[in-house]
Amino acid sequence: MRTIAVVIEYDGTDFAGFQVQRGKRTVQAELCRAVQKVTKQSVPVIGASRTDAGAHATGQVVHFRTLCRIPVERVPAALNSVLPRDIAARYAWEADETFHARYSARSRVYRYTIWNHPVRSALMERYAYRVSQPLDVEAMQQAVRYLVGKHDFAAFASEVGRYRNTVREVYSAQLQARLPLVWLRIEANGFLQGMVRAIMGTLIEIGLGKRAPETVEQLLQSGVRGDAGFNVPAHGLCLVRVNYDESTILRSEQQAGKGL
């Protein structure tokens, strides 16, 4: 059996999320169908992250195991020939049998984008959440600094009860602006469901002057979801990168000709 890892890009607008759901269109279901057509085998396709309904990805990683002998460099083109237009395989590499797209991941990087303008954009409507009032970007940047480090993010989780442990480590978090675009880029060893969206909702309230930047530190200590900001819509969220250990990175570079 071979283990094939593939970097996937998708527009999540018309999907009910990544994970298979009965009676609903999902990214994982479409990938399973495509892999079956290409390999002539019905095999599970495992993703690194279960993105929300409406969320996008430019760097989702999936893997599947197969007996098919198709050369790994031809896998993306083969998949793209049968995938729908809103999913694309970017590149692939052959991993060893211990590789797992989800459990081998060292960190994940998400980006949330805001269109900060009173007038909507036809091009950005699907990929950015519009905030019509001016945002205090400097205050939001001050607040973001409290996120870095190992904290209990229960106050930013949609369903705390589903987790045994709500502690996560944020390796980096930056809020940048090139108005009218404002975006948060955050890397962590893992994310709770709704975590980035609740963080962004809180930051928007800070940017609108409804909260002080220190609110973020207080929320990390309180752990009460009701005290945090609203959940912004998923369409501004994008999984941009999944990081693995150095040996996996090197292998992917050798076989795909680019870094992960």
For residue 35, what is the domain's CATH number?
A: 3.30.70.580
Asked whether the CA dihedral 218, 219, 223, 224 is positive or negative, the reply is positive
Contact 32, 44 (CB under 8 A): yes
The helices-and-strands tally (H runs, E runs) of the chain is 6, 10
Q: Packing angle between helix 215-222 and helix 195-207, nearest 10 degrees?
A: 150
pLDDT (0 to 100) of residue 159:
77
Scan for tokens 């590789």, then name that residue.
Answer: 99
Whether residues 28 and 95 fall in one domain: yes
Whether residues 29 and 56 fall in one domain: yes
Scan for tokens 């050369």, then name that residue.
Answer: 71
Peptide linkage before 180 cis (omega within 30 of 0): yes
- Whether pTM exceeds 0.75: yes
Write down the mean pLDDT value for the chain.
Answer: 92
Scan for tokens 């049998």, then name that residue.
Answer: 97
Whether residues 169 and 121 fall in one domain: yes
Calculate what percentage of the chain has a pLDDT beyond 70: 94
Pairing of strands 107-116, 129-131: parallel
pLDDT (0 to 100) of residue 258:
44
pLDDT (0 to 100) of residue 164:
83
Structural domains in the chain (count): 2
Contact 227, 219 (CB under 8 A): yes
Range(s) of the domain holding residue 95: 2-104+245-256
Residue 165 predicted with pLDDT over 60: yes
Q: Which of 14, 52, 86, 152 is catalytic?
A: 52
Query: What letter represents residue 258's amino acid?
Result: K
Residue 201 predicted with pLDDT over 80: yes
Whether residues 99 and 118 fall in one domain: no
Whether residues 143 and 83 fall in one domain: no
Based on the residue annotation, tell me whether 136 is a catalytic residue of this protein.
no
pLDDT digits (tens, 9 = 90+) for 55-97: 999 999 999 999 999 999 999 999 999 999 999 999 999 999 9
Whether residues 33 and 153 fall in one domain: no
Please list the alpha-helical segments (H only) found in the chain.
27-39, 75-80, 137-144, 195-207, 215-222, 246-256
